[in-house]
Amino acid sequence: MSRILRNPISLAFLAILVLIVAGSTFATVPETKQAVIVRFGQPVRVVNAYHPGQDFGGTGAGLIARYPFVEQLVWIDKRILNVDMDSQQVLSTDQQRLQVDAFARYRIVDPVRMYVSARTTDRVSDALKPILSSAIRNELGKRPFAALLSPERGQLMTNIRNAMNGFAHRYGAEVIDVRIKRADLPEGSTTDSAYQRMRTAREQEAGSIRAQGYKQAQIIRADADAEAASIYAEAYGKDPDFYDFYRAMQSYETTFSPNAAEGQPPQGKTTIILSPENDYLREFRGRK
């Protein structure tokens, strides 16, 4: 025995053997994984299983031991996983089409059931994908187009989630959340008609803005005219007789002066034929 221990080659051999046994006995379970311990293909127990509300550090993660060679570890993700649905067309009750792209988030809550039914999380995702598609098609197909865009989407999503959960349960999975990532009008005629509607709506708006502008401008002008009239009335109303005279004087000057209007060429020559009876020539006639 001591000879074996002294021989470095046999020593190394022994060390490797010990390492192999230790390696298949002990394992470290990280926080992100659940471990199903399988004995001869039969799941016997779960380490670090998901429990809601557990803080990290208080879970079953860490160093574990199992029977070497007899028991195998199967790793199952403990994190929240993603199912991405392929984009698909949904028909609303009023025969409008909508291109919908959605995703669901789930986590494995029953690793043993999941191991028995699907083995890997990829298969769970593959199985959930068509369920998500059909749940979305069913739920959205029950509603009119306008409702698909409205804030009550929240309730819609809860319904889809519940519908999916009944199925996901079989895979030991729990759907946490279903969200519509995109909801677009399909390319082609639907989009074009939407664009057409937007265009006409804009043109209507443009027309109404122009009309409103015209209306306001007219009101402003009329108000100003009215104000000016009231200013004149107030001033001239004090003595209508004098106003008549005063305004007549101004008017004569404007009418008979060749260049009365400033900056404009004379509008024509004026010839005045006065009768001596004219009041202006009263003094010219001499006192009688």
Scanning residues 33 to 52, which ones bind another protein (CB under 8 A)? none
For residue 5, state whether it binds another protein (rule: CB under 8 A): no
- Which one among 2, 41, 42, 57 touches another protein, defined by CB under 8 A? 57
Buried b / exposed e along 75-113 (16+ C-beta atoms within 10 A): bbbbeebebebeeeebebeeeeebbbbbebbbbbbbbbb
Other CB atoms within 10 Å distance of the CB of residue 62? 13
Position 139, amino acid: E
The tokens for 38 are 């399988």
- Which one among 81, 118, 136, 173 touches another protein, defined by CB under 8 A? 81
Nearer to another protein by Cβ, of 41 and 272: the residue is 272
The tokens for 158 are 């809860």
> Which residues, in sequence order, are bridge partners of residue 34?
76
Binding to another protein (CB under 8 A) within 96-135 occurs at: 103, 105
Binding span for another protein by CB under 8 A among 54-62, 85-93, 133-141, 160-168: 54-62
Nearer to another protein by Cβ, of 41 and 187: the residue is 187
Binding to another protein (CB under 8 A) within 82-101 occurs at: 82
For residue 4, state whether it binds another protein (rule: CB under 8 A): no
> How remote is the C-alpha of 186 from its chain's centroid?
18
The least distance separating another protein from the CB of residue 118, rounded to whole angstroms, comes to 16
The tokens for 222 are 């009329």
For residue 147, state whether it binds another protein (rule: CB under 8 A): no
First to last CA, the chain: 172
For residue 67, state whether it binds another protein (rule: CB under 8 A): no
Binding span for another protein by CB under 8 A among 36-44, 111-119, 165-173, 180-188: 180-188
Position 98, amino acid: L
For residue 30, state whether it binds another protein (rule: CB under 8 A): yes
Nearer to another protein by Cβ, of 42 and 77: the residue is 77
Helix (H) / strand (E) element for 35: namely strand 33-39
Other CB atoms within 10 Å distance of the CB of residue 249? 10
The least distance separating another protein from the CB of residue 275, rounded to whole angstroms, comes to 4
Binding span for another protein by CB under 8 A among 37-45, 109-117, 144-152, 165-173: 144-152
The least distance separating another protein from the CB of residue 255, rounded to whole angstroms, comes to 8
The least distance separating another protein from the CB of residue 30, rounded to whole angstroms, comes to 4
Q: Where are the alpha helices (DSSP H) in 100-188?
A: 111-117, 121-141, 145-149, 153-168
For residue 17, state whether it binds another protein (rule: CB under 8 A): no
The least distance separating another protein from the CB of residue 111, rounded to whole angstroms, comes to 15
Binding to another protein (CB under 8 A) within 229-268 occurs at: 229, 231-232, 234-236, 238-239, 242-243, 245-246, 249, 252-253, 256-258, 266, 268
Number of residues that bind another protein (CB under 8 A): 95
Contact (Cβ atoms closer than 8 angstroms) between residue 171 and residue 124: yes
CA 260 vs CA 8, 208, 286: distances in Å: 130, 44, 32
Side-chain-facing half-sphere of 144: CA atoms under 13 Å: 3
| Structure-token match 């009750």, residue found | 93
The least distance separating another protein from the CB of residue 164, rounded to whole angstroms, comes to 16
